[in-house]
Amino acid sequence: MSQPFLDAVRARRSIYAIGKESPLPVAQIEEIIKQAVLHAPSSFNSQAGRVVLLIGKEHDDLWELIRSTLREVQSPEHFENTNGRLTGFQKGYGTILFFEDQAALNQFKDKYASYKDDFDSFSLQSSGILQYIVWTALEKEGYGATLQHYYKDGVAEKIRARWNLPDSWKLISEVPFGKPTGEPYPKQFQPVEERFKSFH
């Protein structure tokens, strides 16, 4: 039955209040991510997803890098709100960075020219699936996490430089995670009848 899977789907939430405790050792977190990377589907089996795990000081350094970068480009009023969010993410145990390798995608754009203009969309769809698998698996193991998108204003370039990552790796998102220290916000649902149709 699919019920255990759907239970995990329902349990996955955006949890912003996280701490530096970890229900699992690093090796088990790595194994969860490796299995997701191996088995997440991708269009034309392009396998362009790339993932970086940052724990401890590396995790703290990431959010300091983002903080210092955004402080330079945002107004003081805007940065005050941003800084509060960044501090919350930094309180977590680790962060997972998700990338899509443009060099790998370009090979498929050349090979399947009639789909060339579609591969960027395909890539985001594949990355979304990979992110969702990792996020849901972590929450199943007792972590809280959120999906973040800090890649503009030079952030992505500085991250690639700091961790010596290939220029072809396009940053898609960050998932800060840790043991929950608070509850998720109440979730509002639009009527499913307005969002789903079945013909038979």
> Digits of tens for pLDDT over the chain (200 positions)?
689 999 999 999 999 999 999 999 999 999 999 999 999 999 999 999 999 999 999 999 999 999 999 999 999 999 999 999 999 999 999 999 999 999 999 999 999 999 999 999 999 999 999 999 999 999 999 999 999 999 999 999 999 999 999 999 999 999 999 999 999 989 899 999 999 999 99
pLDDT at 1: 65
Q: H/E/C letters for each residue in the chain?
A: CCHHHHHHHHHCCECCCEECCCCCCHHHHHHHHHHHHHHCCCHHHCCCEEEEEEECHHHHHHHHHHHHHHHHHCCHHHHHHHHHHHHHHHCCCEEEEEEEEHHHHHHHHHHCHHHHHHHHHHHHHHHHHHHHHHHHHHHHCCCEECCECCCCCCHHHHHHHHCCCCCCEEEEEEEEEEEECCCCCCCCCCCHHHCCCCCC
In the numeric block, which tokens belong to residue 179?
């043991």
pLDDT at 177: 98
Pick the CATH number of 24-183 from 3.40.109.10, 3.40.50.2300, 3.40.640.10, 3.30.470.30: 3.40.109.10
pLDDT at 19: 98
In the numeric block, which tokens belong to residue 172?
């898609």
- The answer to whether the Cα torsion of 112, 115, 119, 125 is positive or negative is negative
pLDDT at 3: 92
pLDDT at 2: 87
Note the pTM of the prediction, 2 decimals.
Answer: 0.95
